[in-house]
């Protein structure tokens, strides 16, 4: 067993190295193959242990950036996510005993990623295999197969590699299967997805930076003033003919870390900025909920004539960071460096894009970009352009920023849309539908990015499918496990007992 555990740990660390900041995606199939070899030959009662060790090697390394919030928070989140890989180890121990196990274990991985991305407390999709493929030939598959499909293909590659190791007599068949799979993966590179361009828009992303030690709440007045000043300066350049008039301006999450609708100083400053550019500004703010006891994390369209209008509310507030799950049971506690919360942030449910002037914009706030139910639904409902408002100030100097920007590039490809990112502290940028970075601003700088982007009509096959592949995978695994359990029960029932 010790050799299995060492192999599982090495496989988990190797998978973590496939993601930013190391970004060696070619490690993925080999890491997944090693995980299967560590589990193969065990029963379900023992398969969980190599699965757990694999999860420790992967997730504790992958989200090491969480230590910026607190080591306790890092240990708690990584530990909770590791349990999914432990359960998967037991499931795969059963599947590895049957036929077509390279395919079935790929399906089980896909099901696990879907479940982990939605449960508990809204889930944590960070670490999905597809988030690592942005600069590989496999990236062109994203508009067609989506994140779940690409993850399935990678897991199947891993399964076939493991099959080559344990079935040397069938090596020719395994090599042929791998060759066919690689050919399938390469097909979109000859015929990439071409979005249906219906127009253009000039968009500005403002990165105001966080002064001092990066504490947003301690510097929220200065942060807002930075965004006001940069936008007013842009307005002066527009008036002087030095810059074109944009379609709208995008401010990041927490550009106003207060209720901009009730705070007089903030309201006055926003009006000054909006009137200076004379176009809508999508402001990041924390207005009070209608019940006055909860908070909303919103992107608010501020029109130069009518003021605050259409809004997008963050779908996935961070548990223990932006709201307290099971507050009545847990009360007020400090969870490993996360702040003690006197409020709960209410999750949004909007599925239609923002109306920004005459544009329809699919918006996401910070971690929302990693979830399937945010941008996909807005794009299906007519979103022509993707915007991401994020802060990331707490994670300055960590790999979280690079990982989230890679996720945004993946979403641009999957949705077939241009994506504009406004980050409070970096990285802000403009991304093409093929994942290329057209413009970016480094961290810890003040920047104004202005770029002409295309407006896209229609949905990619991946957007149409949405999260259904993951749901189907979960259903198939349940049926397969139930079938295995029934067969085992029948065998035990009909086995003669010795007297």
The CA–CA distances, whole Å, from 39 to 124, 152, 171 equal: 25, 19, 21
* Of 107, 69, 53, nearest in space to 61 by CA: 53
The whole-angstrom distance between residue 78's C-alpha and the CA centroid of its chain comes to 16
Residue partners of 324: CB distance under 8 A and separation at least 6 = 330, 332, 341, 344
**Quick one: which H or E segment has residue 15?**
helix 2-17
Tell me if 298 sits within 8 A of 269, measured CB to CB: no
In whole angstroms, give the CA distance from residue 357 to residue 170. Answer: 61
In whole angstroms, give the CA distance from residue 249 to residue 229. Answer: 13
Query: What totals of helices (H) and strands (E) does the chain contain, helices first?
Result: 14, 12
The CA–CA distances, whole Å, from 8 to 3, 40, 340 equal: 9, 11, 37
In whole angstroms, give the CA distance from residue 147 to residue 411. Answer: 9
Look up tokens 């309201």; give the residue. Answer: 267
For 147-186, b where at least 16 C-beta lie within 10 A, e where not — what string? Answer: bbbbbbbbbbbbbbbbbbeeeeeeeeebeebbeebeeebe
Look up tokens 């994140």; give the residue. Answer: 147
Annotated catalytic sites, by residue?
A: 253, 314, 366
In whole angstroms, give the CA distance from residue 127 to residue 54. Answer: 13
In whole angstroms, give the CA distance from residue 24 to residue 19. Answer: 7
Structure tokens at 447: 């920047």
């Amino acid at each position: 067993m010790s050799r299995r555990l060492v192999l599982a740990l090495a496989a988990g660390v190797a998978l973590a190295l496939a993601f930013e900041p190391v970004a060696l995606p070619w490690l993925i199939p080999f890491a997944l193959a090693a995980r299967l070899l560590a589990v193969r030959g065990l029963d379900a009662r023992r398969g969980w242990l190599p699965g757990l060790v694999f999860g420790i090697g992967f997730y504790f390394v992958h989200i090491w950036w969480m230590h910026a919030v607190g080591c306790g928070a890092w240990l708690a989140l990584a530990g909770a996510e590791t349990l999914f890989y432990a359960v998967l180890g037991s499931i795969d121990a059963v599947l590895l005993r049957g036929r077509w196990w390279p395919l079935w274990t790929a399906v089980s991985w896909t099901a696990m990623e879907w479940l982990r991305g939605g449960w508990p407390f809204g889930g944590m999709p960070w670490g999905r295999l597809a988030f690592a493929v942005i600069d590989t030939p496999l990236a062109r598959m994203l508009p067609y197969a989506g994140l779940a499909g690409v993850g399935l293909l990678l897991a199947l590659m891993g399964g076939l590699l493991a099959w080559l190791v344990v079935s040397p007599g069938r090596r020719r068949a395994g090599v042929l299967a791998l060759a066919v799979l690689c050919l399938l993966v390469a097909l979109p590179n000859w015929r990439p997805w071409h979005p249906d361009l219906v127009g253009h828009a000039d968009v500005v992303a403002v990165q105001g930076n966080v002064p001092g030690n990066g504490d947003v709440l301690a510097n929220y007045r200065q942060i807002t003033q930075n965004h006001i000043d940069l936008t007013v300066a842009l307005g002066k350049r527009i008036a002087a003919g030095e810059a074109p008039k944009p379609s709208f301006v995008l401010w990041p999450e927490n550009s106003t870390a207060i209720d901009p609708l009730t705070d007089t100083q903030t309201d006055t400053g926003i009006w000054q900025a909006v009137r200076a550019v004379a176009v809508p500004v999508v402001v990041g703010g924390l207005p009070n909920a209608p019940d006055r006891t909860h908070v909303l994390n919103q992107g608010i369209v501020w029109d130069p004539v009518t003021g605050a209008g259409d809004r997008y509310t963050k779908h996935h507030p961070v548990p223990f960071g932006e709201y307290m799950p099971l507050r009545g049971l847990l009360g007020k506690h400090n969870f490993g460096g996360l702040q003690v919360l006197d409020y709960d942030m209410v999750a949004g449910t909007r599925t239609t894009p923002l109306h920004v002037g005459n544009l329809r914009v699919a918006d996401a706030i910070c971690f929302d970009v990693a979830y399937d139910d945010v941008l996909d639904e807005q794009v299906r409902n007519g979103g022509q352009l993707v915007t991401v408002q994020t802060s990331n100030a707490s994670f300055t100097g960590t790999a979280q920023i690079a990982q989230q920007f890679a996720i945004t590039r993946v979403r641009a490809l999957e949705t077939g849309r241009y994506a504009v990112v406004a980050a409070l502290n970096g990285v802000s940028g403009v991304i093409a539908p093929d994942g290329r970075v057209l413009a970016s601003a480094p961290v810890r700088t003040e920047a104004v990015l202005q770029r002409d982007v295309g407006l896209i009509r229609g949905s990619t096959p991946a957007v149409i499918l949405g999260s259904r592949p993951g749901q189907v995978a979960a259903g198939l695994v349940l049926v397969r496990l139930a079938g295995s359990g029934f067969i085992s029960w029948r065998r035990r029932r009909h086995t003669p007992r010795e007297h």
